[in-house]
Amino acid sequence: MKIDRLIGILSLLLQRDKITSAELAEKFEVSRRTILRDIETLNQSGIPVFAEQGQGGGISVMEGYKMDRTLLSSEDMRAILSGLQSLDSVSGTNRYRRLMEKLSADDRSSADADNHIIIDLSSWDKSAVADKIELIKQSIEKRHIIAFSYFSPSSETQRKIEPYHLVFQWSSWYVWGFCTDRGDYRMFKLTRMTELKMTDEKCEDREVPEYTCDKLRHTKGEIEAQVRFDRSQKWRLIDEFGKDMLHADENGDFLMTLTWEDEPTFYRYILSFGDSAEIVSPDEYRNGFAAIVKNICGRYET
């Protein structure tokens, strides 16, 4: 991919005084003409890269800009390697690993043996998201609208969106973009999407707002309720909310105020605690949950 190559070229230029287009072409397995186009792209991005012709010539970054040849230390390279390997864990390929091997060819301290961090962003069923991520990534790069069927707690709908970001958040993958049906920006969970395809329709030129992590949890129509959790669930509450959010009462139980997207998903979450969670207030959600529990019990009455 072009972005991989640009990162690789820039990293090499920051480490070396000069390198020829032939060397870069061989290293990244492309033509010299492609390398020259990449150099022009870097220039247009504000990075002062220039080429000298003739004997002793080559490609380099303006000295005043480079400042320090060791901009990327061995520690930096290992950190980058961990991040790139995490992307490979999603796609099931070695694309980013190959890029790092090229970047660290002259610095063996960046090899796997010295990398002690492993980040695996894949789902339990890797096939469920890997192909979707690849298709959405291509759609974002080509600026094409994607279409899919989407399953929410209340319905199944057909959607079209202009995709702008792939987001890994709260242990799941999402795509964030402009929903043409709703006329607003929305988040969609990849595992709830079926029949995903890239359309021939191009995304409109629009002012895209900056994505923030709050866009997922703080949605229109969210509910708020007080829930008491048994002390036996402390391990899970710390895992999901952090220790600073927990305050034990005189019995050692935890009273928390939770905000949620909608009632059905909130009730399912409380049910996952079995008899170790109780909705305290408001009565609307306490009674709603009680009705669900009553229906469940009715299924098992003989």
CB-CB contact of 103 with 11 (8 Å):
yes
Residue 284's identity, in one-letter code, is E
Residue (of 192, 95, 193) closest to 139 by Cα position: 193
54-111 confidence digits (pLDDT tens):
777 788 887 665 444 444 555 555 555 555 555 555 555 555 555 555 555 555 444 4
Same-domain pairing of 206 and 238: no
Q: In total, how many domains does the chain have?
A: 4
Q: Is residue 122 assigned to a domain?
A: no
CB-CB contact of 61 with 47 (8 Å):
yes
Same-domain pairing of 232 and 267: yes
Q: Is residue 41 assigned to a domain?
A: yes
For residue 299 the two structure tokens come to: 């299924």
Same-domain pairing of 23 and 56: yes
Q: Is residue 54 assigned to a domain?
A: yes
Last residue of a domain, one of 182, 217, 252: 217
Of 173 and 227, the structure prediction assigns the larger pLDDT to: 227
Q: Is residue 149 assigned to a domain?
A: yes
Long-range contacts at 84-91 (CB < 8 A, ≥ 24 apart): 85/115, 85/118, 85/119, 86/119, 86/120, 86/121, 87/121, 89/119, 89/120, 89/121, 89/122, 90/121, 90/122, 90/126, 90/129, 90/130, 90/133, 90/173, 91/130, 91/133, 91/134
Q: Is residue 263 assigned to a domain?
A: yes
Look up the domain containing 251 and give its range.
Answer: 223-300
Same-domain pairing of 227 and 203: no
Same-domain pairing of 60 and 88: no
Report d(CA 163, CA 186) in Å as an integer: 10
> Tell me, what DSSP letter sits at residue 273?
T
What is the percent of the chain where pLDDT is above 70?
72
Average pLDDT, the chain: 78
pLDDT recorded at residue 22: 86
* Cis bond upstream, residue 282 (ω within 30): yes
* Angular region, 175: left φ>0, alpha ψ -120 to 50, beta rest: beta
For residue 203 the two structure tokens come to: 């995304």
Same-domain pairing of 135 and 184: yes
Report d(CA 34, CA 21) in Å as an integer: 9
Q: Is residue 119 assigned to a domain?
A: no
222-269 confidence digits (pLDDT tens):
789 999 999 999 888 887 887 888 888 888 999 999 888 788 889 999
| Alpha-carbon torsion, ordered 209, 130, 6, 162, to 10 deg | -30
Strand bridging mode 277-281 / 49-52: unpaired
> Tell me, what DSSP letter sits at residue 272?
T
Same-domain pairing of 144 and 205: yes
Q: Is residue 269 assigned to a domain?
A: yes
> Tell me, what DSSP letter sits at residue 157?
E
CB-CB contact of 253 with 241 (8 Å):
no
Last residue of a domain, one of 217, 243, 265: 217
